[in-house]
Amino acid sequence: MKNKMKIFVLSVLACFVLAGCGSPTSVQAQPIGLEAAKAVALEDAGLSASAVSFTTTGLDRQGDTEYYAIDFTSGDSSYQYDIDAISGRVIECRISEGTALAAQTTAQPQTTSAPAAQSSSAQTQSSGELIGEQAARDAALEHAGLTESQVTFLKTKLDREDGRQVYEVEFYTQDYKEYDYEIDALTGEVYSYDYDAETYFQSSGSGSEISAEEAKALALAQVPGATESDIIEFKTDRDDGRIEYEGEILYSGMKYEFEIDAYSGAIRSWEAEKAGLWG
């Protein structure tokens, strides 16, 4: 009887052992680490760690993608890398050499020149140092064609957008037109901006409306060089009982969204941003 019991116990233990050995274990992919991401960026740039000065490094996320933002300078050149945190693949690379900005991605090449959305302060060479809040405000005001005495600032703060450091600048005018800007923290370049008129312009009383073609012409006049073929979306809509035209323009690496009042032809809303990898 004792022998039978001993055999039974041993059989049960053997089942537990076999069951444990046979169960699959899930292995979750881990980030490659900050130092490995730095090494990937340096290898891609063809530089050594001793030849560069890192300005920004850290783990970031865009949607479901985790990536390392690796920014560094070497000589008069500034490098901005986004490295996939799991695979170590270079998602995007931006190289600023003097006044030229080259953008490269593993997915597709991107055009970064945007003459209509840059201020002259963006033409200064990046030294790897942040331009500061006052310079960011000056760049936004210059682009908007306003002076500091004409506006009230709501916010100026340092943030990150698509792996780069930007200053968020918000202000409004005395007639309650609100402006939101993102200024590249290294170069002073206008990265994106939008404009909103808080009140509608009154109709002239004639009851007439501008045509869709006239509205398109008004929008295209804000983007020198763009033609009607660059309008990728256009429609007529109603807002608070008033008719307005809405559309999008894609031109020279920039995407512009607009709303135009159908009665007065006033631009009610205008947004512009780089049509980059994440957009």
Same topology, domains 34-105 and 112-199? Answer is yes
On whether the CB atoms of residues 162 and 277 are closer than 8 A, the answer is yes
The architecture CATH gives domain 201-279: Roll (3.10)
By three-state DSSP, how is residue 180 classified?
Answer: strand
The pLDDT value recorded for residue 1 is 53
Sign of CA dihedral 229, 231, 237, 242: negative
Taking each continuous run of H as one helix and of E as one strand, the counts in the chain are 4, 13
The pLDDT value recorded for residue 150 is 92
Annotated domain spans of the chain? 34-105, 112-199, 201-279
pTM of the predicted protein model: 0.43
In Å, the largest CA–CA distance within the chain is 109
On whether the CB atoms of residues 261 and 244 are closer than 8 A, the answer is yes
pLDDT, averaged per 10 consecutive residues of the chain (279 residues), comes to 52 49 56 90 89 82 80 82 88 65 38 37 55 94 92 89 87 85 92 73 58 94 94 87 89 92 87 68
On whether the CB atoms of residues 57 and 34 are closer than 8 A, the answer is yes
By three-state DSSP, how is residue 48 classified?
Answer: coil
List the beta bridge partners of residue 164: 161
Which of 88, 87, 86 shows the shortest CA–CA distance to 31?
Answer: 86
Which of 234, 197, 230 shows the shortest CA–CA distance to 212?
Answer: 234
Neighbours of 44 (CB within 10 A): 15
The pLDDT value recorded for residue 123 is 42
The pLDDT value recorded for residue 118 is 41
List the beta bridge partners of residue 194: 180, 271
CATH of 34-105 given 3.30.230.80, 3.40.50.2300, 3.10.450.40, 3.40.50.10540: 3.10.450.40
CATH C-level class of 112-199:
alpha beta
